[in-house]
Structure 1
Amino acid sequence: MDKNVILKSVLTEFEGLAKIPRPSGHEKQVSDYLAARLRRMGLKVIQDEYNNIIADKKAAAGFEHKPLILLQGHMDMVCIAEAGVDYDPLHDSIKIHNDGKFLSAAGTSLGADDGMGIAIILYVLAQDFVHGPLRVIFTVDEEQSMTGARGLDKKYLDNVKYLINCDSEDYDMVTVGSAGNVRIAMEKQVVWNKPQGNCALHIGIKHLLGGHSGTEIGRNRCNAIKILGFILENLMEKNIQFSLADMNGGTADNAIAAQASVKIVCDAADRPAIEQTLFQMKQGFQEIYGTTEKNAVFVFEQTELPDKVIDGKSTEALIALLCMVHSGVYAMSEKTAQLPKLSSNIGRMNIADDKITVHVLSRSATNASLAFIKTAQRLSAECSGFKAVLSPTSPAWNGDPDSKLVKLAGQVFTEQNGRPMKVEFIHGGLECNYFADKNNVIDIISIGPTNIDIHTPQERLQLDTVVPQVLLVQTLIGRLAAEGK
């Protein structure tokens, strides 16, 4: 096989996906595209009520009775743009940049999570090689609520023997377990008043690293929403009077908030004290995050007076909530070094339609701990006068690191690369959790090419891991089919 031809073909598949806007919850267009693409390959395609795609490819002649192998990925992406970049995720395509070493996007997230997984699967399906019966499932809404995986009819998993999920980000790692999670929207209605002060200030923090709240949560990255809450609490502790006109931050529940801003109304005479408080908070920030958040920018500027401000009780409740709700690691794994076991992330917050909403995503390696954290988060919200709206819980997946598929993947990887493959549990959440919950006898692994800084505008795919990933997937399928022949 010509590796340059393979890479070019996979990148062509990815470019087709990148042209289609596909934020979570808006996958109909890309679902139709994939259904048509698979039908042109001759596969039998089903598009279910969620817009999941289920497609079957017949086995090569003589291999019809081999175990059914499922290849799986998700079609949505986290859509994030750098500050100042004109980008509408519902209508704009991703502008790809290829420097020969990395694939990236111009000012936005790339969507290789999981567009590259789908592109690799499409390439493999188009090849003529020895394989048993293959099934493909492309799901929707993985990045937000996993609606596709959660709602998928379990009948599509009943006869599956092996499942290869193509949604991991490290080529030299096979994932055999991932954390469960729960999303909590903390909501409170507000009353608006007329502003009393004569000075309006815009305070914020931006250009933080952000990143995936599963893979990056234990790397001492600051949450912009959380730090802004502490800044406001500091003003209250100093008895500086102010009213809150607006506050927002973050872009996705499962991304560490890289920016947040607030608009307050105060007396002009208090502006120096507020600026001094911000300076002191910046010094404390440097002590905690100075080695990691080197590009952080604190914003302090005067702005136009707003027409209305939030009532004082709601302001106090919001500040209390932001200070009480933990955003970071609660506990580390006893089994795996440097792996979080339990964490939470304040992903987004905004004030709109007379309501404050704070979005929190909690993760746990065990279902029992997840139940505890749900209770703790709910009580934190209620103690602050907020209502906690809990989304359905994603179960934890604890696979077998010694399973047949894990061992075979490691064997093939070593043959192809001359080094061992790491076997890991991760703190991020995968759709494998739902598949294992629906059918706990399936042998499941998750693999993928190396993708760095996912869920950020700095996302970049390491190109020299793409072809090896293709060869790993294709060889795995071939080996499983050749057994007993």
Structure 2
Amino acid sequence: MTKDVLDYFKTICSIPHPSGHEELLGNYIEEFAQNHELDYARNEIGDIIIYKEATPGYADYAPILLQGHMDMVAEKDADSNHDFLTDPLEIYEEDGYLHATKTTLGADDGVAVAIMLALLSDNSFKHPRLECLFTVQEETTMDGITHVDKDWIHARKMISLDGDVVGETNVSSAGGVQLTIRKNATFVESHDQGYKFYVKGLLGGHSGDAIKDGRGNAIKIAGLVLKACLDNGFDIRFSSLNAGQKANAICRDGLFTFQSTSNKEELKAFIHERMEEQKALYPLEPLDYTLEEEQSGHVILDSDALIHFLALCPYGVEKYSYYFNHFPVLSLNLGIMETTEKAVELILLLRSENEINLKLLVNEVETLASLFGLSVTPSDEYYGWSYDPDSQLRKSYKEAYKKAYDKELKEVPTHGGLETGYLSRIFPDMDIVTMGPNCIDIHTPQEKLEIKTLYEVHDFIKNWLGEL
């Protein structure tokens, strides 16, 4: 029996594929190509392209590139024991949506893989030659798309399946760069009162899509609260700082341990007051905290530098668009904070459609870090995708969507990073549209996929390909 698109997605959920560890899913896709006797190629990093020849009568039509990424953001609730490297996702259906238990679902971008596999295995519809590109590491380094062999791709019309709202097509996307802020740590033994300060309960979310919503960030909140402690004469010396899981996810929770010689009751009362103030700033989020005493141990010399940097470092939207209402064009996310034996590191992700804006914000962060003796290392820079007002493929998409649903297709920019940026740079004449089913709260354990829209997008593409 032929598998449908939801069957393929459920199979993908059963195969571990966090970003940087897509080999098992890649093996499945390669075996799929072999079983269906389709030409394909796979490179050393793990990207795969599968070709399906045109149906009779369509050989003279221009080929179409369909594209999505194999990897998923691996986020989970604090009380989850899920191992993303070995465990299948625990999925369930509820009220027309597919969920995962206490973890991300990986609909971003498992739906693209599922749609392409369903189309490749289906011989019942008309289409030109199809080139289906499956990339790796989109959610982390963008290394997958940058390693794709240019000679693999002959199409100049591309359907990116990395959209997450039915009835919308992205017309541009942000470029970005990751910054690692590092403070070399000297630990010294201390016997003062220890504390565990745990900030929790925030919604988090995709740092491109959700950053415009003004959501709280546990790293930023902790920095502001502890800076207030210093300003009011309380002694704060860090032992460790550990927060966040992904650079491109807004930090939902974090554990900040420190020691202090200050009066215990006065310190606890002051932190409580400051946290109540923070809660008032995020009325739609279940922000909470715990402050527990613990045994003394080691502390980091010059903790003040870290506290001041966290309090002063930009977070959130820095600029909005002049042309699209409430659309961010420059932002910064505090993603991960980790303490090792030798250093404390904070990983930031900066996004902008404009390279000049991005460079100016990088310079601002570098200047601030230098004032407190912190180093900055940029990495994983990726390109933005500029708006093409003359896209013929988007024109065709809008006409087909209107005909199918008697609705207007919405053209929207995205502050998220898409692989369209790199492909449009190496193929300047590539005409690109994006689409995808309704994927809600991506990059969080609350992620869910509206099942009927997965079928809707699959069926629309299946019918539209015969018109291209």
TM-score (norm 1): 0.93
Residue identity matched to 1:212: H
Instruction: Please give the secondary structure, in 2, of the residue aligned with 1:258.
Output: coil
For 1:253, the equivalent position in structure 2 comes to 247
Give the superposition deviation at 1:407: 1.3
Match status 1:286 vs 2:279: yes
Match status 1:18 vs 2:13: yes
For 2:205, the equivalent position in structure 1 comes to 211
Structural mapping, 1:177-196, within 5 Å? 177-196=172-191
Contact 1:412/1:475, CA 8 A, preserved across alignment? no
Residue identity matched to 1:437: R
Instruction: Please give the secondary structure, in 2, of the residue aligned with 1:160.
Output: coil
Residue identity matched to 2:225: I
Pick one of 130, 146, 149 that aligns with 2:145. Answer: 149
Give the superposition deviation at 1:185: 0.8
For residues 217-273 of structure 1, what are the alpha-carbon distances to aligned partners after superposition, in whole Å with 9 as ceiling and x for unaligned?
A: 011200110110111111111221232111111110000000012111223x62112
Contact 1:228/1:261, CA 8 A, preserved across alignment? no
For 2:341, the equivalent position in structure 1 comes to 353
Output the CA distance in 2 between the equivalents of 1:441 and 1:263.
Answer: 53
Q: 1:153 to 1:324 in 2, by over 3 A?
A: farther
Residue identity matched to 2:49: I
Contact 2:6/2:454, CA 8 A, preserved across alignment? no
Match status 1:277 vs 2:270: yes
Contact 2:164/2:438, CA 8 A, preserved across alignment? yes
Match status 1:303 vs 2:294: yes
Contact 2:197/2:291, CA 8 A, preserved across alignment? yes
| Greater CA drift, 224-233 or 397-406 | 397-406
TM-score (norm 2): 0.97
For 1:108, the equivalent position in structure 2 comes to 103
Give the superposition deviation at 1:377: 2.1
Instruction: Please give the secondary structure, in 1, of the residue aligned with 2:220.
Output: helix
Output the CA distance in 1 between the equivalents of 2:445 and 2:131.
Answer: 33
Residue identity matched to 2:319: A
For residues 362-381 of structure 1, what are the alpha-carbon distances to aligned partners after superposition, in whole Å with 9 as ceiling and x for unaligned?
A: 00021221222222222222
Output the CA distance in 1 between the equivalents of 2:325 and 2:390.
Answer: 19
Output the CA distance in 2 between the equivalents of 1:235 and 1:15.
Answer: 49
For residues 433-476 of structure 1, what are the alpha-carbon distances to aligned partners after superposition, in whole Å with 9 as ceiling and x for unaligned?
A: 11001111010111100000000000001112111101221122
Question: How many residues get paired?
Answer: 467
For 1:376, the equivalent position in structure 2 comes to 364
Q: 1:86 to 1:392 in 2, by over 3 A?
A: closer
Match status 1:390 vs 2:384: no
For 1:135, the equivalent position in structure 2 comes to 131
Output the CA distance in 2 between the equivalents of 1:304 and 1:21.
Answer: 39
Instruction: Please give the secondary structure, in 2, of the residue aligned with 1:393.
Output: strand
| Greater CA drift, 22-31 or 392-401 | 392-401
Pick one of 405, 408, 422 that aligns with 2:396. Answer: 408
Q: Which runs of 5+ in 1 are unaligned?
A: 481-485
Contact 1:195/1:243, CA 8 A, preserved across alignment? no
Residue identity matched to 2:309: L
Instruction: Please give the secondary structure, in 2, of the residue aligned with 1:72.
Output: strand
Contact 2:225/2:275, CA 8 A, preserved across alignment? no
For 1:483, the equivalent position in structure 2 comes to none
Output the CA distance in 1 between the equivalents of 2:451 and 2:458.
Answer: 12
Output the CA distance in 2 between the equivalents of 1:466 and 1:242.
Answer: 51
**RMSD between aligned alpha carbons?**
1.5
Output the CA distance in 2 between the equivalents of 1:252 and 1:345.
Answer: 10
Output the CA distance in 2 between the equivalents of 1:453 and 1:399.
Answer: 26
Output the CA distance in 2 between the equivalents of 1:410 and 1:62.
Answer: 25
Pick one of 403, 424, 427 that aligns with 2:415. Answer: 427
Contact 1:350/1:358, CA 8 A, preserved across alignment? yes
